[in-house]
Structure 1
Amino acid sequence: MKKAILKMTSVFVVLVFILSTNAYANQANKKLKSEKSTVKWLGKKVTGEHSGTIKIKKGHLVFKDDQLEKGTFVVDMTSIVNTDIKDEGYRAKLVGHLKSDDFFGVEKYPEAKFELVKAKKLSDGKYEVHGDVTIKGITKPIRFNVEMKNHGDELHVSGKIVIDRSKFDVRYGSGSFFDNLGDKTIYDDFELHLDLYLQ
């Protein structure tokens, strides 16, 4: 009787090990290489536009059976940089304004977050991504397309995200909140261009 129990227990342990090993083998966790990854931002107004960069401090993607399944990325809002303005004083003034409560209030909200909850494969390496973005403590659903390519042991992710800032209480110069702004209007939509590397 004891031998039978021991035998059944051994079979059970082996079975659990095999199943868990297969499950692990079918899942891959790709971690962001933040030092190599870049995100470029672009904001437009009636009289022109400004651009710059912002850093993603950490993130990962999870694949199951080689299909994108979920992921999380955390953006360092204190890392906002402008790259198109040549005058150092004007450039610093703009960056300071973007970090202020008029825009992203980075002292109170130093991080923004994107959580991928679903991905639809469009073609080889191309996905329609669905998730939730959190800015200034406000979370809204979003969807956008990305393209993924393997370069050796690295995964390169590129894509463009368009975010309506008015949905996150970023009001300054917005025609959604103020009337008669004229040529001082700053458009609600801003763009993020992704150039991410994961391993």
Structure 2
Amino acid sequence: MKKQILTILALALITVSFTACKNDAKNTDTLNEEVTEVANDFRATDSGDLYTVKNANSSIAWEGSKPVGTHTGTIAINEGAVYIDKGAITGGKFTIDMKSITVTDLEAGDGKESLEAHLMGTVEGKEGDFFNVEKYPTAQFVITAVKSENGLTVLEGDLTIKDKTNPVSIPVTVEENKNAVMIKSEQFEIDRTQWGINYGSKSIFDNLGDKFIDDAMKLKVSIVAAK
């Protein structure tokens, strides 16, 4: 009987020891994951090699929707700089030329010019409907932090449009060769009303029926920069 009790106690001690070791290993793995995650996330700095944006090859593709269809177009990124350290973005900022707004889904003479003028606010009496480019000729994105998620680099930053600034996250891929870097984003969305672009918004006006424009603007960024 005494022998059986000792055997049971020994087995219990082995089980407890094994469980404790397993939990310690699990805790260590969790800690390592947390440390790795923190290491991959950092505040933006102006460190590394400086690359200057090539405006002829850098732009933002945009898409706006309403119940009857979708319009697409581009906006030029006319200047900026990005810092790269060992293949990773560490910081940067970009200036967007709002006077370069172009509509790509319409042909000249088929509403293209009138829509571009309305978006830019160059139509008398409709200056404030959208971007009012005479008063606000540029917009700007400044990188404030860089993260790594699902194999993508995520640029977190402040986007300023019409003197209003809001945080935006942009998932991108980065390709670097000897003297140039190419940054391409996944498609992402912003809520235009956060920048006071309220025209046709059913979240602002409740009497539009089906004559509204979606608050969400879909954007896709492509940037080429060189040393």
Normalised TM-score (structure 1): 0.81
- 1:190 paired to 2:211: no
SS class of match (1:171): coil
| Cα distance between partner residues in 2 of 1:127 and 1:117 | 13
Offset, 1:129: 1.1
| Cα deviation code 1:164-188 (max 9, x no counterpart) | 1000110110011101312211001
Structure number with larger C-alpha Rg: 2
Partner of 1:154: 180
Offset, 1:91: 1.0
- 1:130 paired to 2:156: yes
Partner of 2:40: none
| Cα deviation code 1:97-128 (max 9, x no counterpart) | 1011100111100000000011013366x311
- The answer to whether the Cα contact below 8 Å between 1:42 and 1:192 also exists between their aligned partners in 2 is yes
| Cα deviation code 1:25-51 (max 9, x no counterpart) | x72111111112232111111111101
| Cα distance between partner residues in 1 of 2:150 and 2:198 | 38
- 1:56 paired to 2:85: no
- The answer to whether the Cα contact below 8 Å between 1:31 and 1:60 also exists between their aligned partners in 2 is yes
| Cα distance between partner residues in 2 of 1:184 and 1:87 | 24
Seq. identity, %: 34
Going by fraction, where is strand more abundant, 1 or 2?
1
Partner of 1:22: none
SS class of match (2:193): helix
- The answer to whether the Cα contact below 8 Å between 2:88 and 2:174 also exists between their aligned partners in 1 is no
The one-letter code matched in structure 2 to 1:71 is G
Partner of 2:99: 78
Match of 1:113 among 127, 130, 140: 140
Unaligned runs of 5+ in 1: 1-25
- 1:90 paired to 2:111: yes
Partner of 2:33: none
Partner of 1:167: 194
- The answer to whether the Cα contact below 8 Å between 2:143 and 2:157 also exists between their aligned partners in 1 is yes
Offset, 1:69: 1.5
| Cα distance between partner residues in 2 of 1:152 and 1:28 | 11
Q: Tell me which moved more, 82-91 or 97-106.
A: 82-91
Normalised TM-score (structure 2): 0.72
Unaligned runs of 5+ in 2: 1-46, 122-127
| Cα distance between partner residues in 1 of 2:79 and 2:108 | 31
SS class of match (1:187): coil
| Cα distance between partner residues in 1 of 2:88 and 2:148 | 8
- The answer to whether the Cα contact below 8 Å between 1:69 and 1:117 also exists between their aligned partners in 2 is no
| Cα deviation code 1:63-121 (max 9, x no counterpart) | 23543211100000000011111252511111111011100111100000000011013
- The answer to whether the Cα contact below 8 Å between 1:53 and 1:81 also exists between their aligned partners in 2 is yes
Offset, 1:191: 1.6
